[in-house]
Amino acid sequence: MHVKVIPNVDAIRFGDRYSGELRLTDHHIIFIHPVTNQNSATPPPNTPKYRESYIAYPIISHCIFRPCPSISGRPSSIRIRGRDFSLINFLFLNETTAREAFDYIRTRTCRLGSIEKLYAFSYQPLKTEKPFNGWHLYDPRAEFRRQGISTKSVDRGWRVSLINKDYNFSPTYPGLLVVPSKISDNVIKYAGPYRSRARIPVLSYLHSLNNCSITRSSQPLVGFRGNRSIQDEKLVGACFSASATVEFNGLEAPTLDTAEPSPSSSQFDIRGSSLEGEATDTERLEDELNTGIEGNDDSQTGKRIYGAQQHNLIVDARPTINALAMQVVGKGSENMEYYPFAKKAYLNIDNIHVMRESLNTVIEAIKDGDISKLPPNRELLIKSNWLKHIRGVLDGSALIARQVGINHSHVLIHCSDGWDRTSQLSALSQLMLDPFYRTIDGFIILVEKDWLSFGHMFQQRSGPLGHEKWFIVERDAMAGSAMQPGESDGRAGEAFENAIAGARRFFHRSRNQDSSGDTDGDGPGSPPDENSQAKRSSEAPPVTETTRPNEISPVFHQFLDATWQLLRQHPTRFEFNERFLRRLLYHLYAGQYGTFLYNCEKQRIDARVHERTRSVWDYFLSRKPEFLNPDYDATVDDRQSGRERLLFPKLTDVRWWAQCFGRSDSEMNEYLDQAAAYEQRIGSYTLTPTESPSKNGSRSPQPPSSPKPPSLPTSRSVVTTTETIHDALTPGRENSMILKHSSSADTPGAFAINLVKLRDGVTGLDLSRGLFGGSEKGDHTKTPSRLRIQGEQEMADMPTHQAHQSFQHEREVESTPPKDPLDHSMASFGTG
According to the annotation, is 420 in a ligand binding site?
yes
According to the annotation, is 415 in a ligand binding site?
yes
User: In the chain, what percentage of residues exceed pLDDT 90?
Assistant: 57
pLDDT for 764 beyond 90: no
According to the annotation, is 421 in a ligand binding site?
yes
Structure confidence at residue 759 (pLDDT) = 45
Residue 795 to residue 751: CA distance in whole angstroms? 7
User: In the chain, what percentage of residues exceed pLDDT 70?
Assistant: 64
Residue 811 to residue 92: CA distance in whole angstroms? 26
Q: Which of 148-157, 486-495, 688-697 is most confident? A: 148-157
According to the annotation, is 385 in a ligand binding site?
no
According to the annotation, is 418 in a ligand binding site?
yes
Structure confidence at residue 40 (pLDDT) = 56
- Tell me the per-residue pLDDT of 588-639, one tens digit each, with 9 for 90 and over: 999 999 999 999 999 999 999 999 999 999 999 999 999 999 999 999 988 8
Q: What is the mean pLDDT of residues 303-328?
A: 80
The region of weakest confidence among 69-83, 350-364, 572-586 is: 69-83
pLDDT for 333 beyond 60: yes
Catalytic option among 63, 68, 212, 415: 415
According to the annotation, is 406 in a ligand binding site?
no
The region of weakest confidence among 402-411, 568-577, 736-745 is: 736-745
Residue 370 to residue 391: CA distance in whole angstroms? 30
pLDDT for 553 beyond 90: yes
Structure confidence at residue 638 (pLDDT) = 87
Q: Which of 581, 464, 465, 583 is nearest to 824 (CA)?
A: 583
According to the annotation, is 351 in a ligand binding site?
yes
pLDDT for 800 beyond 80: no
Please calculate the CA angle 735-739-745 and round it to the nearest 5 degrees: 165
pLDDT for 134 beyond 80: yes
Q: What is the mean pLDDT of residues 509-517?
A: 42
* Residue, of 659 and 70, whose pLDDT is higher: 659
Q: What is the mean pLDDT of residues 2-22?
A: 92
- Long-range CB pairs of 238-241 (<8 Å, 24+ gap) are 238/179, 238/180, 238/182, 238/183, 239/180, 239/201, 239/203, 239/213, 239/215, 239/410, 239/412, 240/312, 240/341, 240/342, 240/410, 240/412, 241/157, 241/180, 241/341
Residue 323 to residue 327: CA distance in whole angstroms? 7
Structure confidence at residue 314 (pLDDT) = 98
pLDDT for 431 beyond 50: yes
CB atoms within 10 A of CB 740: 14
Which of the four pLDDT bands, split at 50, 70 and 90, describes residue 371?
confident
According to the annotation, is 352 in a ligand binding site?
yes
Q: Is the Cα torsion angle 475, 480, 483, 484 positive or negative in sign?
A: positive
For 471, half-sphere exposure in the C-beta direction (CA atoms, 13 angstrom radius) is 23
Annotated catalytic, 415?
A: yes
**Residue 263: cis peptide before it, omega within 30 degrees of 0:** yes
Structure confidence at residue 695 (pLDDT) = 42
Structure confidence at residue 42 (pLDDT) = 62
- Directed axis angle between helix 555-569 and helix 578-590, to 10°? 170
Q: Which of 752, 751, 745 is nearest to 784 (CA)?
A: 752
Which of the four pLDDT bands, split at 50, 70 and 90, describes residue 520?
low
According to the annotation, is 419 in a ligand binding site?
yes
For 163, half-sphere exposure in the C-beta direction (CA atoms, 13 angstrom radius) is 23
Structure confidence at residue 310 (pLDDT) = 63
Residue 309 to residue 294: CA distance in whole angstroms? 10
Q: Which of 234-243, 247-256, 552-561, 768-777 is most confident? A: 552-561
Average pLDDT, the chain: 76
Structure confidence at residue 669 (pLDDT) = 94
* Residue, of 363 and 242, whose pLDDT is higher: 363
Which of the four pLDDT bands, split at 50, 70 and 90, describes residue 383?
very high
DSSP 48: -
* Residue, of 732 and 814, whose pLDDT is higher: 732
The pairing of strands 411-414 and 213-216 is: parallel
Domains in the chain, ordered, with CATH? 1-113+467-488+808-832 (2.30.29.30), 140-247+307-462+553-667 (no CATH)
